[in-house]
């Protein structure tokens, strides 16, 4: 029987995985500059955490979660997003006791059971950041700026941010009735999901992809904001402009999760047709308290790594170059091959990328391997060279060859860098 990877998953092979390494390295570097520290949480958590944190009326919870009972008959779920787990860790480990704002980032796999398509998988990966402990709108702008400049620095073009405010509880209560007045006359023409959402959480209707064209004249939540929310949103916009972040207002943007308050946003880049959304996020001032912690505010985002990789490829941005090998060792004869095995280890311990043949091939085949691996040098050791304590060092780009002492090989290669 030939096994295949599960539907909606991928194998990242050499030649492709380098793209991911480059993107992850840039993400870590951006977080270092913005003073965000890495957090690693379990890939599965209590199902109730996501039901309470993400929202029972969301598509994620209702349709997309991978949920199972463990051997203790506890309901567990593979994480569908990163914020709930990060906030759970923040509460459980009492990070709220730190006098400074807690600034975290994560990179890792998430899981949602949905129809696989371009840039969307059942096991996917996110780069996300979370900042907890302050309501300052400058933190909203900082978070948005971090993601925006990350995308710009990895080379994506057409990058901009769509922003909105989803207000606080009072603002949403006022908007709820206004929105229902708009939606009720068209209720019978809406999809079944929208009809159900109207009863439980009308704002979710605006997130529907099926009926989106019907909501062009929908009232804007921005008209229902109270003074606090309006002032917060105006300050965020002012700061984004000052930071050089290109943005536009999308008053129908509500995001797909229930925990958002105040600022909500999505990142866009020049895409393939309708595929242009890379990720998004928002403020979640009530989430910490809802899962058992103190009433601490927070804000964060999540970016889809698969979507980023797809857009990099589409825009012709190459970042999958493999680092060249420093030296390929060739041993000719039993004693020389034993010496090569020892030399190989010494080179690697000294920080030099080195390789040798393991298949007993002749010298010509070994030299072809050196060229395929883009080695800078081939170091050739025969029995005669070994007896003299020397090795032939050939620079493959020029064909120049010289003899060096065995005990000077490491230093010679290091000095040639």
Report the DSSP beta bridge partners of residue 161: 247, 267
For residue 169, the model assigns a pLDDT of 84
Domain 17-168+226-314 has CATH 3.30.200.20: no
What is the radius of gyration, based on Cα positions, of the chain? 28
Give the C-alpha separation, 264 to 121, whole Å.
24
Tokens of 249: 């207002």
Quick check: 300 pLDDT over 70?
yes
For residue 216, the model assigns a pLDDT of 76
- Residue range 87-97: mean pLDDT, rounded: 96
What separation in angstroms does the CA of 254 have from each of 204, 205, 226, 315? 7, 9, 17, 28
- Residue range 380-408: mean pLDDT, rounded: 94
Helices (H), 112-219: 137-153, 169-183, 192-200
Q: In 3-state terms, what secondary structure has residue 373?
A: coil
Quick check: 272 pLDDT over 90?
no
For residue 185, the model assigns a pLDDT of 83
- Establish whether domains 17-168+226-314 and 327-415 are of one fold: no
For residue 147, the model assigns a pLDDT of 97
For residue 256, the model assigns a pLDDT of 55
Query: Percent of the chain scored above 70 by pLDDT?
Result: 98
Higher pLDDT, 115 or 19: 19
Listed by start position, the domains of the chain span 17-168+226-314, 327-415
Whole-prediction pTM: 0.87
Question: What is the distance in angstroms between the CA of the first residue and the CA of the last residue of the chain?
Answer: 49
Query: Percent of the chain scored above 90 by pLDDT?
Result: 68
Quick check: 204 pLDDT over 90?
no
The H or E element spanning position 367 is helix 363-372
pLDDT tens for residues 146-177? 999 999 999 999 999 999 999 988 888 888 88
Quick check: 254 pLDDT over 80?
no
CB atoms within 10 A of CB 231: 12
Quick check: 214 pLDDT over 90?
no
Residue with tokens 């946003």: 265
Give the C-alpha separation, 107 to 129, whole Å.
9
For residue 258, the model assigns a pLDDT of 63
CATH H-level superfamily of 327-415: Anticodon-binding domain (3.40.50.800)
Mean pLDDT of the chain: 90
Quick check: 56 pLDDT over 90?
no
């Amino acid at each position: 029987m030939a096994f295949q990877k599960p539907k909606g998953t991928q194998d990242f092979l050499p030649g492709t995985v380098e793209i991911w390494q480059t993107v992850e390295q840039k993400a870590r570097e951006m977080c270092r500059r913005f003073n965000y520290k890495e957090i690693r949480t379990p890939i599965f958590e209590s199902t109730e955490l996501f039901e309470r944190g993400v929202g029972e009326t969301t598509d994620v919870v209702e349709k997309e979660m991978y949920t199972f009972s463990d051997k203790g008959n506890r309901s567990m779920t593979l994480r569908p997003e990163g914020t709930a787990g990060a906030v759970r860790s923040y509460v459980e480990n009492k990070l709220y006791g730190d006098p400074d704002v807690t600034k975290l980032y994560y990179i890792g796999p998430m899981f949602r059971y949905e129809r696989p398509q371009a840039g969307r998988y059942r096991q996917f990966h996110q780069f996300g950041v979370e900042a907890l402990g302050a309501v300052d709108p400058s933190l909203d702008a900082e978070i948005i700026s971090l993601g925006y400049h990350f995308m710009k620095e990895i080379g994506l073009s057409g990058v901009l941010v769509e922003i909105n405010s989803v207000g606080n509880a009072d603002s949403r209560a006022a908007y709820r009735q206004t929105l229902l007045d708009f939606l009720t006359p068209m209720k019978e023409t809406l999809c079944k999901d929208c009809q159900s959402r109207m009863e439980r959480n009308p704002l979710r209707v605006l997130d529907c992809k099926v009926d989106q064209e019907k909501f062009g004249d929908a009232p804007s939540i921005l008209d229902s904001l109270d003074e606090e929310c309006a002032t917060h949103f105006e300050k965020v916009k002012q700061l984004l402009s000052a930071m050089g972040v290109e943005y536009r207002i999308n008053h129908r943007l509500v995001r797909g999760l229930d925990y958002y308050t105040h600022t909500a946003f999505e990142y866009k880049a020049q895409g393939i047709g309708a595929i242009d959304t890379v990720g998004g996020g928002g403020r979640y001032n009530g989430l910490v308290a809802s899962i058992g912690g103190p009433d601490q505010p927070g804000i964060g985002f999540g970016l889809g790594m698969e979507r980023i990789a797809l857009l990099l490829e589409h825009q012709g941005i190459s970042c999958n170059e493999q680092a060249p090998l420093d030296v390929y060792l060739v041993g000719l004869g039993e004693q020389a091959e034993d010496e090569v095995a020892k030399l190989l280890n010494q080179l690697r311990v000294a920080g030099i990328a080195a390789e040798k043949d393991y298949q007993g091939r002749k010298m010509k085949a070994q030299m072809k391997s050196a060229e395929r691996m883009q080695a800078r040098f081939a170091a050739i050791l025969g029995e005669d060279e070994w007896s003299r304590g020397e090795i032939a060092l050939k620079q493959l780009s020029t064909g120049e060859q010289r003899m060096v002492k065995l005990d000077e090989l490491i230093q010679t290669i290091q000095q040639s860098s």
